Structure 1
Amino acid sequence: MTSPAGRAASAPGWLGSLLASAAFARAYTIAVLGVVFGSFAIERIAGRVTYISMITGLCVLGVGVLIVRRQEISLLRLVPTTLVVFVGWALLSVFWSSDTATSFWSWVTTASLAFLAVVIGHLRDTLQTARALGDVLRALLSASLAVEVLSGVLLDMPFPFLGVQGNLAELGPVQGIFGTRNMLGFVAVLALITFLIEYRTQSVRPGVSIVSVVLAGGLAALSDSPTVLVLAVGVGAAVGALALVRHTRPERRGALQLGLGALVVLAVIVGYVARHPIIAWIGAGSDFSMRVDLWNVMVDLQRARPVQGWGWFGAWSPRDQPFSFINYFLGSSHATGLNAYFDVLLQLGWIGLILFVALASIALVRSWLAASERRSVIYAWTPLILVALLVDSMFESFTLTGLGWMMLVLCAVRAGLSRSWRERIDAVSDLDGLPHDGTRA
């Protein structure tokens, strides 16, 4: 019979084997994605304490996984430099915010979600990550449709605790289990990208792919979100451009990439000049007018602290400045700035905005180049998700909190692993007989 001391000695080996297993990595990835994407429903049903406890538990497990797999992971390539600097600047801003305690705990939430994304980025490759996200979104979108059918058709009554208005019989707008129609539309677009990549890579059965695409497309349309059309156009243009680059001869790709970059800049300028006709065409005039009023007030307040901002809060804290003043001045109850770039500018100043744009743009360039040079279509998943995040950031602040922030960090980590200057340093270290932690083999 094994003694208690013997059992204690063998426990770490058993736990280490579990944490290092492929099955645990897949289960952990699905759990993280499920909790973060289902955060609204979890908080409304079980409370915020439950959600925080789940995130804390996943972070503890993530630390254990990284420790067990430390020999497989390069410390030099663990986290993108731009992410470290951005999160570090957000932490510094806590000291000059109007509410240090609230700002600090908001930063902890931001750092925790970033850590979970880093763990997933090192546990799973791009195909495995896309497959896990596809499974999670199939379940959550199916649950959203079921809730809308129950509320809008079978019971014909709203579910206020979930934010469901029960408008399915009128063909929308619907919210599902994501709280708002804009969030549902945003998630549906991410799901469409993922489901189409699954179909192209044949990683799931064709029937499952087709049903998944119809489900995501139907909910995107029923959400009646004015941003969905803009997202669809942006992602569609990115798909066309990427397909063109991938089918161009390698010696001509450089010139084509430069041309596409110039075209994007031109499109942004034209879009800004023709913004009013475009807004009228998509039927979002009143919505956009409200956003412009909000952004103008944010810019005016930002001038008081142009470099450092007002301090990091992520999602707005209604009782703290400058958010309480903004809502009082506008007679509204905004929970975000409805634009990730203006939100970062207000909270972290010009330094924070430059760091945020650097984080996103470097990740996009790295992933775009990897997708244009490598044969497998799976490499297109990362840049297309990033395009969706960056386009949506012009109308919502989803990319700064919750699932949007986690997906941005996850894509940045995946892009850094597939194409980074630190990869060459690792290669030189390996040739010199040095493992990734810098110690002699």
Structure 2
Amino acid sequence: MSEQPRRPIVPHAVQELFGSARFTAALTLAIIGTAFGTHLLLSTMGWPGLLGIVCGLVTLAAISLTTRRASLDWRGLPPISIIVFVGWCAISVFWSNTTLTSVSRVLYLLAFAFLGVYVALVRDTIQVVRSLGDVLRLLLVTSIVLEVLSGLLLDVPISFLGIQGDLADLGPIQGVFGTRNELGLISLVALITFAIEFFTRSVPRGMGQFSIVLASACVLLSRSPVTLGAFAAAGVAALALIGLRRVAADSRWLWQLGLLGAAVLGAVVAWLARSRLIELLNAGSEFEVRLSTWREMWRYMGANPLQGWGWVGEWPMSTPPYFWVNLATRRPQSSGLNAYLDVYFQVGLIGFIAFTALIGLALVRSWLLASEKRSVVYFWPALVLVVLAATSIAESTVLVGYGWMLLIMCSMKASQGMSWRDALRRHEHSPVPNE
């Protein structure tokens, strides 16, 4: 008797599904949409709904990675700087005075870090740009539609989303992101993403032009001084990279050193002229809020300078010392309004060094790749990291949600192109020349 064909084995069917390119593309869109739509999801579904979605995405990403593990290039990944910072945040739960809160917040940090690692591993940079562009186009269009509905048609705020309905006065608007600073930052990231799409011809010309106009309008209508500062930093960085790519390769390192010196000098001048810059940006009231918060944070940093108070990410309002800081300033904040100080406050000097090393190494690697590689797509991680680093001076967005995931993705992409561990491994296995 002839043997009957065997029925498909379940693991093989699972591998076919979760290992397919179509599934990874769809999951990438879902991950990016969830990260950037966190405020919208919290406003409509609450924390149980958001956490359920995140857990589901982590599970699917883990299964997908397992099925694709043989086809992925893991050399030099993930960067040690990510492991050190996340590991120190995890260890901080042992001395936190809010242990349960710290454990849950560390798990939240790990979840978005894992999702960022997944996206960076399974998608090329241009594929990441395209997925991000699709998500941000939808969110920005939704934001404008709701702002028109609130500010022009109904003339009432949409309170549960944080939309105040000020579009008739040309802003500030908040969109579906809760605050004008969040809208401004996301719109600036979108502008960079749409520009890369346009110059790489990844989308139709009309779609690219519409997307750039949309993002630019959202940046302006947000009227966010923080975003304007980050926009200036990104613009200078883009011009510098364009200039570097036109310089002869053998003399490029001299220009890199010159730009580094100019950047340091510019930072010193900006600090000395900070009062005038704040006045020009019309950010006096916002700066006073931040300054009062930073002063109070500095008072409590002395109690635990080395290890901090324990990782919590977004501040728990009713828990010391965050409650004491907000009580003293009389303007409750959900963060330290400065990612660098916030990290120092939560995980001490060791965490601060690990965090600055994470951003610094990712920025240096991505900058060198953008200045040396021919494809313009390498501009994306470099410029996004410049925006995140600049924004982190006045916001803590990079420590949670989409900001943290963007940092992980850019760091991974930079490490994939320039890993010292991978270079060392290649050197060890290279043939020794004959004497």
Please indicate the TM-score interval, normalised by the length of the shorter structure: over 0.9
Secondary structure in structure 1 of the residue aligned to 2:70: coil
Question: Separation in 2 of the partners of 1:102 and 1:205?
Answer: 47
Q: Is the 8 A contact 1:86 1:352 kept in 2?
A: yes
Question: Separation in 1 of the partners of 2:45 and 2:198?
Answer: 35
Partner of 1:437: none
Secondary structure in structure 1 of the residue aligned to 2:318: coil
Partner of 1:184: 183
Matched, 1:38 2:30: no
Q: Is the 8 A contact 2:398 2:407 kept in 1?
A: yes
Secondary structure in structure 2 of the residue aligned to 1:172: coil
Q: Is the 8 A contact 2:315 2:335 kept in 1?
A: yes
Change in CA separation of 1:319 and 1:167 when aligned onto 2, cut-off 3 Å:
same
Question: Separation in 2 of the partners of 1:212 and 1:429?
Answer: 47
Partner of 1:25: 24
Q: Is the 8 A contact 1:62 1:116 kept in 2?
A: yes
CA deviations on 1:279-313 (whole Å, 9 max, x unpaired) are: 01111112111211111111111111111001100
Change in CA separation of 1:252 and 1:42 when aligned onto 2, cut-off 3 Å:
same
Matched, 1:360 2:366: no
Question: Separation in 2 of the partners of 1:118 and 1:6?
Answer: 37
Equivalent residue runs for 1:155-234 within 5 Å: 155-234=154-233
Question: Separation in 2 of the partners of 1:179 and 1:51?
Answer: 16
User: How far off its partner does 1:19 sit?
Assistant: 1.5
Question: Separation in 2 of the partners of 1:429 and 1:125?
Answer: 27
Change in CA separation of 1:76 and 1:157 when aligned onto 2, cut-off 3 Å:
same
Question: Separation in 1 of the partners of 2:428 and 2:194?
Answer: 39
Partner of 2:262: 263
Partner of 2:325: 326
Matched, 1:393 2:382: no
Q: Is the 8 A contact 2:37 2:177 kept in 1?
A: yes
Partner of 1:86: 85
User: How far off its partner does 1:232 sit?
Assistant: 1.2
Question: Separation in 2 of the partners of 1:353 and 1:421?
Answer: 23
Question: Separation in 1 of the partners of 2:154 and 2:276?
Answer: 41
Secondary structure in structure 2 of the residue aligned to 1:202: coil
Partner of 1:435: none
Shifted more, 379-388 versus 10-19: the winner is: 10-19
Change in CA separation of 1:426 and 1:62 when aligned onto 2, cut-off 3 Å:
farther
Question: Separation in 1 of the partners of 2:217 and 2:294?
Answer: 32
Question: Separation in 2 of the partners of 1:57 and 1:122?
Answer: 19
Matched letter for residue 44 of structure 1 = S
Matched letter for residue 164 of structure 1 = I
Secondary structure in structure 2 of the residue aligned to 1:337: coil
Matched letter for residue 351 of structure 2 = G
Secondary structure in structure 2 of the residue aligned to 1:77: coil
Question: Separation in 1 of the partners of 2:328 and 2:50?
Answer: 33
Unaligned ranges ≥5, structure 2: none
CA deviations on 1:297-343 (whole Å, 9 max, x unpaired) are: 11111111111001100000112121000011111211001100010
Q: Is the 8 A contact 2:76 2:420 kept in 1?
A: no
Partner of 2:242: 243
Unaligned ranges ≥5, structure 1: 433-441
Equivalent residue runs for 1:56-135 within 5 Å: 56-135=55-134
Q: Is the 8 A contact 1:172 1:222 kept in 2?
A: yes
Question: Separation in 2 of the partners of 1:176 and 1:426?
Answer: 48
User: How far off its partner does 1:245 sit?
Assistant: 0.7
CA deviations on 1:352-401 (whole Å, 9 max, x unpaired) are: 11100000110111111111111000011110000000000001000001
Matched, 1:379 2:373: no
- Report the number of matched residues: 427
TM-score if structure 2 supplies the norm length? Answer: 0.96
Secondary structure in structure 2 of the residue aligned to 1:227: helix
Secondary structure in structure 1 of the residue aligned to 2:382: helix
User: How far off its partner does 1:424 sit?
Assistant: 2.5
Question: Separation in 1 of the partners of 2:363 and 2:344?
Answer: 21
Question: Separation in 1 of the partners of 2:95 and 2:318?
Answer: 16
The ranges of structure 1 where at least 4 consecutive aligned residues each deviate by more than 3 angstroms after the TM superposition are 425-432
Matched letter for residue 355 of structure 1 = A
Change in CA separation of 1:325 and 1:273 when aligned onto 2, cut-off 3 Å:
same
Matched letter for residue 38 of structure 1 = G
User: How far off its partner does 1:22 sit?
Assistant: 1.2
Matched letter for residue 134 of structure 1 = G
Shifted more, 67-76 versus 401-410: the winner is: 67-76
Question: Separation in 1 of the partners of 2:86 and 2:396?
Answer: 17
Question: Separation in 1 of the partners of 2:6 and 2:46?
Answer: 41
Matched letter for residue 291 of structure 1 = R
Question: Separation in 2 of the partners of 1:202 and 1:75?
Answer: 30
Question: Separation in 2 of the partners of 1:76 and 1:314?
Answer: 30
Question: Separation in 2 of the partners of 1:46 and 1:431?
Answer: 55
TM-score if structure 1 supplies the norm length? Answer: 0.94
